[in-house]
Structure 1
Amino acid sequence: MNAPPSGFSNPDRSLASRDAALPGLPWLLDNARLSELLGETVRVTRVRYKPGTSLLVAFRRLRNGNFEYGWAYTLAEPAAKLLRRESKSRSRGGNMRVLRPDPLHADMLVAVGGVEDDWALHPNLVWLREHGAERLGLKPRAAASLLAGSSVLRYKPERRLVLLAHQASTAVVIKTAAKPAGTGQQTHFLERLQRHGVPLLPQLGDAECLEHGISACIAWGGGDLAGLDDDSSAFTAGEALARLHGVPAPDWHAAGVTAQLQATRNMVSSLLPALEDTARRIEAELGSLLPDGSGSGPVLVHGDFSPDQVLVGDSEVRLIDFDRARAGSAEADLGSFAAAEETVLRASGGPSAGGPKTVGLTEGYRRAGGRFTQSGVDAWAAFRLFNGSVDPFRDRSPDWAEDTAWHLRRAKELIP
């Protein structure tokens, strides 16, 4: 049996040994060491790493029978930034604290806090509690204890917090972002989609909520397509996607393919140097393939389409999360969906991207008049697989090095 590539046997330790600028990495990447530092059992659920600069992690802990979330942050010089934040947090009644994990390195600091202490989210969370919750239809009592009385569905430190809030028999999904809502979340844009028959969820709140990064809707359906074995719903989702692509394309675009490929290659190289050459080859091949307009002409695309962006209720579906909507090729959405399905299946390895749900999706898409090329779908699936190759590290998969290598192998196989 061949030995694993260098850095694969203990990738976290290997990474920490290479980044001398961030001596706090070993504490934040290891559940046991972070638990020891905090004095309670925690599990890291998400990381955001900037080589040589900073590491920010989200962690989960069990308190009073419920899961609570928090964050930990370490950065290179100047460490005084963390001390200033700690002082300001205390002045407003927060619980952020700065720890020194290693007595022999007093300048190595780790800041920790709860969701309510999140530096970027704090202003909008305060506004949500004091003003926004009532605008969403929640009663004052529910608004006052919003964080304590809600379940956290997703938390990405300094980016967004998604809550499931309950009031009587109604459940409301509330997303709080650090930045104001983008074009894809604006009321006029969503109303435009509805006029073209795209199945959406009615949005709660108003323009001021969106300005404070708050968007919300009533919880709907029995789950998303990612968690359901439902080929008929995949077919219906394909019809809905065709209607979305039938909306006249806007004149706004996302970040260029070249920039996204370069960012991914840089991160793969930092995380697993043994895969740098592979990443460079895939970057070059996709970079020469996709900017030429591979696939069909520009349409309005979802921008992050996957099975978990499709809610299912009986025989109906709803498409959600249009934060990344833009002009692009239809194959970008179809390939994104196929790649997301492959990431779950891992056993496909076929000549074309995707699995059973992708087959249902494309059949429904064709039936509703959608057009695409299979080579374009495969190319965009390779693009998503490549860019998603760093997600196992960010999501703290126990086997993230092997998972990253799989993403790259499969991306390479799908490049036409």
Structure 2
Amino acid sequence: MGTVLAALHASPFRPATEWTAQANAEAVMTAAADLMPLDADLATRAQALATPLAARLAGTAFDPVLVHGDFSADQVVMGDVAPVILDWDNVGLGDPARDLGSFLARMDAQVIDGLLTQDQADDRGAALPQGYGTVPTSMALHHARALMLLLTEGFRNRHPDWSARTQKMMVRIEQVLGTMTTHHASGMRGS
């Protein structure tokens, strides 16, 4: 799948829709605000995560490429020759990290929902970038962005434990952001 995704990102096709750095930032702020009518405490916590994430996303520079927009394993079927990507309703020009982060966030959601074990998600999450090649430096930011966009999914899908699911998503966002800080700090120490 990583190889097919890399080929998609290398395509010369340029759709009219563009996922700008500012649009990515606004999306995480909207995701946090969407929790307010559902649970004020969760919304406050989400806002605390969204604000610094939005600032970092808004400052991310990238060369826009053709992106799927909400790439995940369930958007791919295995063809006779190669995987085939489906569901193009969020296609646009954007940061290639958007698709990689979306894939990782969906793996996280499937672990939270008990559909995958953590080991399965880790294996799949590691295999995608290996097949992809050079991973954009903003992948972790987009992983956290995609998780933010999944915060209200449990409520929308009428999970009886949607609040607990949302809390687990936020813990995962904190972990992803913490990993970014750790990698950034260790990279600076090695400079």
Q: TM-score, normalised by structure 2?
A: 0.81
Match among 262, 266, 290 for residue 57 of structure 2: 290
1:340 matches 2:106: yes
- What residue number does 2:8 align with? 244
Distance 1:393 1:312 in 2: 31
Q: Which has the larger radius of gyration?
A: 1
Matches within 5 A, 1:90-169: none
Structure 1 unaligned segments of length 5 or more: list them. Answer: 1-236
Matches within 5 A, 1:137-286: 237-248=1-12, 250=14, 252-254=17-19, 256-286=23-53
1:193-241 CA distances to partner (integer Å, 9 max, x unpaired)? xxxxxxxxxxxxxxxxxxxxxxxxxxxxxxxxxxxxxxxxxxxx11110
Q: Where in structure 1 do 4 or more consecutive aligned residues deviate above 6 Å?
A: none
Match among 284, 302, 306 for residue 68 of structure 2: 302
Q: What SS does structure 2 have at the residue aligned with 1:271?
A: coil
Query: How far does residue 315 in structure 1 lie from its aligned partner after superposition?
Result: 5.8
Larger strand fraction of residues: 1
- What residue number does 1:372 align with? 135
Q: What SS does structure 2 have at the residue aligned with 1:270?
A: coil
CA contact (8 A) 2:129 2:135 kept: no
Q: How many residues align?
A: 170
- What residue number does 1:400 align with? 162
Distance 2:138 2:26 in 1: 20
Structure 2 unaligned segments of length 5 or more: list them. Answer: 181-191
1:359 matches 2:126: yes
Query: How far does residue 329 in structure 1 lie from its aligned partner after superposition?
Result: 1.1
- What residue number does 1:121 align with? none
1:63-101 CA distances to partner (integer Å, 9 max, x unpaired)? xxxxxxxxxxxxxxxxxxxxxxxxxxxxxxxxxxxxxxx
Query: How far does residue 356 in structure 1 lie from its aligned partner after superposition?
Result: 1.4
Distance 2:74 2:40 in 1: 32
- Structure with bigger RCO (C-alpha 8 Å, 6+ apart): 2
Distance 1:289 1:410 in 2: 18
Q: What SS does structure 2 have at the residue aligned with 1:389?
A: coil
User: Amino acid of the residue matched to residue 169 of structure 2?
Assistant: H
Distance 2:29 2:144 in 1: 15
User: Amino acid of the residue matched to residue 413 of structure 1?
Assistant: Q
1:343-377 CA distances to partner (integer Å, 9 max, x unpaired)? 112364x9xxx5211222111111xxxx224x521
User: Amino acid of the residue matched to residue 246 of structure 1?
Assistant: A
CA contact (8 A) 1:306 1:336 kept: yes
- RMSD between aligned residues: 2.1
- What residue number does 2:184 align with? none
The change in CA–CA distance for 1:398 and 1:315 in structure 2 (over 3 A counts) is farther
Q: TM-score, normalised by structure 1?
A: 0.39
